[in-house]
A and B are shown apart, each in its own frame.
Chain A
Amino acid sequence: MAIFPLRIRDLRYQPNGREVLAGIDLDLGDEGITLVLGPNGAGKSVLLRVICGLLEPGSGSMVWGDEGACRPAQGVMMVFQRPMMLRASVLHNVALGLKPFGLSAAERKRRSLTMLERVGLADRAQDSARQLSGGEQQRLALARAWLTKPRLLLLDEPTASLDPSASAEVERIVREIRTDGTRILMVTHNLGQATRLGDDIVFMSGGRVREHTPVQRFFSRPQSDEARLFIQGELPWRMRL
């Protein structure tokens, strides 16, 4: 089943009456990397959680594919800012992603080792996952998600608090995942990363999508004052409704 285009209309999320998502309208095509920018409290991470089904929206609609299906049972994965690391080896942590697929242990191991090669962690396969650096843990989490061949991969600030070389390595993997045919929606605060990595930008503030434009246009001709102030670094650090 095709899950794209994804059409989100008037999506609202209001825990305890507080409007975190205040009517999101967004269309996502079937390829590319979309970067979600915006000040803290804009609702970026919550939007990802609603899209992948971890949070139930209060109202609004999400329509997957031309046939207008509900949320797909498979094919949407998310990598968190601080991903889960079991007290086990790197290999075990990556293979975990395949556990629900009913594959044999040998096949899980084979695929996991191949994936570790692709993210540059093959030589750390037997090391403890918790002893990896932050950047290596993010690569492990990306490998675990990539292994399941998702159609849509949601990334919640995967390079937050990483140094430039670790960020560059994560960006390389994200590009590879995209080349492999996975649609990517990624939250970041790094404007340089947005220009390097993104095809288009979704700019959010106050629980709404203020702009959704190609990267070049976003940075050269932002359509909203908020986006212009954000790019100039003058938007208040936290936007409230």
Chain B
Amino acid sequence: MSAFATTFSDALLMLADFDHIVAEIVVLSLQVSGGAVVLGTLIGLPLGACIAVGRFPGKNALSVLINGMMGLPSVVVGVVVYLLLSRSGPFGGFGLLYTPLAMILAQTLLVVPLMAAIARQVVEDVWQRYAEELQLMRFSWWHSVTTLLYDCRHSLLVAVLAGLGRAMSEVGAVMIVGGNIDRATRVMTTAIALETSKGDLALAIALGIVLIVIILALNAFAFVLRHWAMRRYG
């Protein structure tokens, strides 16, 4: 059997045996990326909607900035968060560096611009159609934002999924602020990078399979949910 096939069969065996190392890494990955996406949703979606609805000087510049930050290099975010959380940094006193919370913060910074940019575009399209009626109904700026977010909720699933995809596949920032510490801050992407460099390709492939299955499953769920919602609400 070739080395490729052997590696794959070993990886599948690890998964079939519910290898506890794999399980721990997967659970931590889901906690970190899930936390970042929850925070990103709470910050990014309202931020995008506020930019879409608001009329203020510099709105276009802010939109360009948010769009530009979608491609923010994760290692740069990692370094910035590292500096903020390191002992000599402004938030060093909290002792967050090399903890899952630091990884959540770094990933949140990565997903917020992405989610805000998508939300701004989605909400702005709807706002252009609804603006006159909401204005006539004397909706406040905040009422308009919440109403539009509610109306766009199914389309905004795309933003959430994009954020989740970015968070789960990201490696640079979590490696820097998490340190890839075994059983503490090791997530799927950093573990894959480490195990590959060590030559333990079976574990790397096993984690890769789990990562892809999770992302596909979430996308399939979102696809079904969106189709159901389109049938139900038009």
Residues of A in contact with B (beta carbons under 8 Å apart): 49, 52-54, 73-74, 76-78, 80, 83-88, 96-97, 99-100, 128-131, 148
Task: Establish whether residues A100 and B132, one from each chain, have CB atoms under 8 Å apart when the complex forms.
Answer: no
| Known contacts A87-B234, A130-B234, A77 near B147 by CB under 8 Å | no
CB-based contact B143/A99 at 8 Å: yes
| Partner of A130 from B133, B137, B153, B233 at Cβ < 8 Å | B233
Whether the Cβ atoms of A128 and B233 lie closer than 8 Å is yes
B9 within 8 A of A: no
Interface of B is mostly: helix
CB distance B150 to A84 under 8 Å? no
Which residues does chain A contribute within 8 Å of B147, judged by CB atoms?
86, 96, 99
A residues in contact with B233, CB < 8 Å? 87-88, 128, 130
* Contact residues on B (Cβ < 8 Å of other chain), bracket: 20 to 34
Out of A52, A85, A130, which one reaches B136, CB within 8 Å? A52
| Cβ distance A41 to chain B, nearest Cβ, rounded Å | 20
Among B143, B154, B232, point to the contact of A128 (Cβ < 8 A). B232
Kindly provide the distance from the CB of A105 to the nearest chain B CB, expressed in whole angstroms.
14
Complex interface residues of chain B between 20 and 65 (CB less than 8 A to chain A): none
Which residues of chain B are near A88, meaning CB under 8 Å?
Answer: 150-151, 233
What chain A residues lie within 8 Å of B154 (beta carbons)?
Answer: 87
Report Cα–Cα, A77/B136, bound state, in Å: 6
In the docked arrangement, what's the CA distance between A131 and B233, Å?
7
What's the least CB distance linking A71 to chain B, in Å?
Answer: 12
A54 is contacted by which of B129, B136, B229, B232 (Cβ under 8 Å)?
B136
B197 within 8 A of A: no
Residues of A within 8 Å of B232, CB to CB, are: 128
Min CB distance, B137 to chain A, in Å? 6
- Nearest-CB distance from B147 to chain A (Å)? 7
A53, A73, A148: which contacts B137 (Cβ < 8 A)?
Answer: A148
In angstroms, Cα B50 to Cα A100, docked, is 18
Tell me the minimal C-beta distance from B233 to chain A in angstroms: 4
B223 within 8 A of A: no
- Residues in B with CB closer than 8 Å to A128 are 232-234
- Least CB distance from A213 to B in Å reads 29
Shortest distance in angstroms between A13's beta carbon and chain B's nearest beta carbon?
15
User: At the interface, yes or no: B183 with Cβ under 8 Å from chain A?
Assistant: no
Contact assessment for B137 and A131 in the assembled complex, using a CB-CB cutoff below 8 Å:
no
Q: A86-B150, A87-B229, A87-B233 are in contact. Are A54 and B143 (CB under 8 A)?
A: no
